[in-house]
Amino acid sequence: MTLERPRGVRDFPPKEMHEHLAVTKKLESVFHSFGYERVRTPTFEFLSLFEAKSGEEIKDHLYVFDDKGGRSLCLRPEATASVARMYGSDLRTHPKPLRLYYVEPMFRYEQPQRGRYREFWQAGVELIGGAGPYADAEAILMASNALTAIGLENAVRIGNIGFLRELLGGLGFDDAKQNKVIHALDKGEMDSVAEMVSSDIFNEVIGLHGGLDAIDRLLELAPDGLKASVEGFRKTIGLLSGCKVDYTVDMGMARGLDYYTGIVFDVKATGLGAQNQVCGGGRYDRLIGLFGGPETPAVGFAFGVDRLVEALNEGGKAVETPRCDVYVASVSEAVRERAFSIAAAVRSGNPGLDVRFDIAGYKVNKALQHASEVGARYALIVGERELAEDAVVVKNMESSTQETIGISGLNPYFSSKRAPD
């Protein structure tokens, strides 16, 4: 019998679990501040959901299996396709735009390495039924705000696959040929891009990089039919500048997924090595229609939560693990039951307080040592003498001072000493 974990999956002992949840909680509070509501989709889906538009990167890395009825299923590698499917089947009559988010594990059969797992967590948002610069800017602003909230730098790189596809379409590239160029761009295989596309304009466009100046040049280079789309792009960038978002336009940016039809963006964190992309997203206006729903514009992104936590730890911004607030011990077996009920009363009188009863029944010195090992802020010691006067001893573990406090005064005492959240 083997007790090893499968490759590429992780355990989350308490510290890691706490870090993960603390980061997710902060992301969620930013999502809520923009009015996004949480949804959940199935862990496995029909394989066909991901075959159409997920792109080579993902299609080659699916966990595929047949169920007992012979249906071809797979573990979800991402949730955008699932949310698009859910919208088309269940939510299409809801007032638009719909602001949705999810925090779920995803599965990709990739070569495991630092920051790249076979099961990993995404916190993602999808803004469905919103077209144009305000929707694009909202998605990018929210990603940037969420990174600020957790304390990470957030320079967003913004490209425009929609524009590149239009340009390629004008040069006679069909969808399949466009995908090839986009994938080569995504992988940074510039020689192969130059081989496939000989247009000077295209080659200058993918080299454009910077701020509004890059968009000015894009406008000059754009064929007449694409100038309006560049104006829209400029508006998005202007909105982001107005909100002080740190961004760079990079027209050579592409993404591995095939469903993007407009802007694309990502954020890379420092100190993570090769797998440093902590956020990726973009506009996908044709995915919902492809799944049988009404053609509906949409934009979204997803954070890789595992990588966010790692980036915080790398940057010396580790999330603090919660400490025990009150450790309740007793001096003897005779008062132990009473100590147990005092612990219960302090716990229910102070919601949110971490109150731990000394289950082991240690002698006082050993109990205090254990209290200090678990980082307790206070030790509450129930002794026979004090109990006779309806009181207990409370020791402040940081200052090592102690005082005798009446049992009826314990709740107000601890509620005034609550550690901040």
Chain residues in the site for ligand HAM (CB under 6 A):
78, 80, 108, 110, 115-117, 120, 122, 124, 126, 257, 277-282, 300-302, 304, 306-307
Beta carbon of residue 318, minimum distance to ligand HAM (angstroms, whole number): 19
Q: How far is the CB of 284 from ligand HAM (least distance, A)?
A: 6
Query: How is 254-301 classified by DSSP, letter by letter?
Result: --S-TT--SEEEEEE-TTSTT--EEEEEEE-SSHHHHTTS----EEEE
Q: Which residue blocks in 151-226 are alpha helix, DSSP H?
A: 161-170, 175-186, 190-196, 200-205, 212-221
In angstroms, give the least distance from the CB of 86 to ligand HAM: 13
Return the number of the residue (31 or 120) whose C-beta is nearest ligand HAM: 120
Which residue sits closest to ligand HAM, CB atoms considered?
Answer: 304
Q: Please say whether the beta carbons of 16 and 22 come within 8 A.
A: no
Nearest approach in angstroms of CB 279 to ligand HAM is: 5
Find, among 268, 286, 285, the residue nearest to 277 by Cα: 268
Distance between CA 79 and CA 61 in Å, rounded?
A: 15
Least Å from the CB of residue 229 to ligand HAM = 19
Q: How far apart are CA 373 and CA 3, in angstroms?
A: 29
Residue closer to ligand HAM, measured from CB, 280 or 383: 280
Q: What angle do CA 143, 137, 139 make, to 5 degrees?
A: 35
Closest CB to ligand HAM among 76 and 377? 76
Measured between alpha carbons, how far is 249 from 264 in angstroms, rounded to an integer?
10
- Shortest approach of ligand HAM to residue 275 CB, angstroms? 7
39 versus 353: smaller Cβ distance to ligand HAM: 39
Token pair, residue 150, equals 């957790």
When the beta carbons of 126 and 386 are compared against ligand HAM, the nearer one is: 126
Q: What is the largest CA-CA distance in the chain?
A: 92
Q: Would you say the C-alpha torsion 23, 26, 28, 31 has a positive or negative sign?
A: negative
Angle at which helix 133-150 crosses helix 227-242, to 10 degrees, equals 30
The smaller minimum CB distance to ligand HAM, of residues 106 and 380, is found at: 106
By C-beta, is 121 or 173 nearer to ligand HAM?
A: 121
In the bound complex, what is the minimum distance in angstroms from residue 234's beta carbon to ligand HAM? 22
Nearest approach in angstroms of CB 13 to ligand HAM is: 19
CB 86 within 8 A of CB 296: no
Residue (304 or 383) nearer to ligand HAM, CB: 304
Q: Is 318 left (phi over 0), alpha (psi -120 to 50) or beta?
A: beta
Q: Which is nearer to ligand HAM, 277 or 415 (CB)?
A: 277
Q: For residues 269 and 391, which CB has a smaller minimum distance to ligand HAM in the complex? A: 269
Query: 209-210 and 277-283 as β-strands: parallel, antiparallel, unpaired?
Result: unpaired
Three-class DSSP category at 326:
strand
For residues 335 and 107, give the distance between their C-alpha atoms in angstroms, rounded to a whole number: 53
Q: How far is the CB of 122 from ligand HAM (least distance, A)?
A: 5
Minimal distance, residue 304 CB to ligand HAM, in Å = 2
By 3-state DSSP, what share of the chain in percent is helix, strand and coil, each rounded to 5? 40, 20, 35
